[in-house]
Amino acid sequence: MSPTVAFNSGVTMPAIGLGVFQTAPEETVAAVQTALELGYRHIDTAAAYLNEREVGEGLRRSGVPREEVFIETKVWVTDYGYEQTLHAFEKSAKKLGVEQLDLLLLHQPLTAKFERTIQAYKALEKLLSDGAVRAIGVSNLVPARLDALLAETDIVPAVNQIELHPYNIRAELQAKNTAHGIVTQAWSPIGGIRSYNGEPTNPLNDPTIRAIGKGYGKSNAQVILRWHIQQGRSAIPKSINAERIAQNFNVFDFELTNDELARVDALDTGDTLDIDNLDTESFGIVIDEA
Ligand code: A2P
């Protein structure tokens, strides 16, 4: 069973969840069902992944009671604004087939139109106070954007989900989250982003990580997930392969030393995808009605 991380509100979340970013709808049901059968109790999706319906279907097919599974999703930028974001919750909940969400995030800031991001967050605050969601948070907020959000809103986000893996450890942003009692959740936690981007090296074939794993009989992915857990983060590795889904959950029976954790930290390249300045509205992603 995954250890949990506790939010500033007292709600807890299993540290390791299954990610379904880039999981095609037709592969999602099986991936979610497999993960839940293997013991995962946390699934991370997003309206913009266009697979919320299939996540819901996987949950139902698994037979695991709804209340045992932590379901997290994200509002896409085209649904930002107070009323629009309240409606975005309805769309996501209906597609997932659940009445209440465990965690609802803003997918990323609309930096050039930040007021709409603020209005969207105020809608999350309303959903939280109404009990429609158990926790609220953000994703891809850099320190300056987090400061701006905190200055204009009442409830400190439970989570800031950011790109974070051994080649990109975001030390300043992690420290910022921690200072505010915000849980850091890693997306692309094992470095998948680098292979999607065609980089020749990524943490999954890093020799330092391989050498550490050898001592424990663990793969690079397992060492990296352990590194996240031991540093207090949540991580949501994506896989559609049953063996790798299992492997990514077999990380609770060994312990890295402080020296090994530091050796992984030292792999940082500082190379981060600059989402803060992306014009994500122009991606053309449409979040349909449920
Ligand atoms: P696949 O879905 O075929 O398993 P991230 O979550 O960091 O973005 O990484 C996801 C990528 O890493 C996907 O391409 C996924 O492919 C692959 N992956 C997931 N788990 C493992 C693993 N244990 N070993 C190697 N590759 C993995």
Q: Give residue ranges with CB within 6 A of ligand 1.
A: 19, 188-193, 195, 204, 219, 221, 237-241, 244, 247-248
Between vectors from CA 106 to CA 134 and to CA 290, what angle results, nearest 5°? 75
Ligand 1: distance of its center to the CA of 241 in Å? 8
pLDDT tens profile 17-39: 999 999 999 999 999 999 999 99
Annotated catalytic residue 49 = yes
Bridge partners (DSSP) listed for residue 26: none
Q: Which domains does the chain have, with CATH numbers?
A: 11-199+228-250 (3.20.20.100)
Q: Which helix (H) or strand (E) holds 28?
A: helix 25-38
Is 80 within 8 Å of 52 (Cβ atoms)?
Answer: no
User: Rounded distance, CA 256 to CA 213, Å?
Assistant: 9
Pick the atom of ligand 1 nearest to 191's CA: 7
Pick the atom of ligand 1 nearest to 23's CA: 2
pLDDT of residue 273 exceeding 90:
no
Between vectors from CA 225 to CA 139 and to CA 20, what angle results, nearest 5°? 50
Ligand 1: distance of its center to the CA of 84 in Å? 34
Where residue 197 falls among pLDDT bands split at 50, 70, 90? Answer: confident
How many contiguous H segments (helices) and E segments (strands) does the chain have? 11, 10
- Where residue 132 falls (left for φ over 0; alpha for ψ -120 to 50; beta otherwise) is alpha
Pick the atom of ligand 1 nearest to 247's CA: 23
Q: What is the pLDDT of residue 20?
A: 98
Is the alpha carbon torsion for 273, 161, 231, 242 positive or negative? negative
User: Rounded distance, CA 171 to CA 127, Å?
Assistant: 31
List 49, 80, 121, 167, catalytic entry? 49
Ligand 1: distance of its center to the CA of 189 in Å? 9
Where residue 198 falls among pLDDT bands split at 50, 70, 90? Answer: confident
Ligand 1: distance of its center to the CA of 221 in Å? 8
User: Rounded distance, CA 16 to CA 246, Å?
Assistant: 12
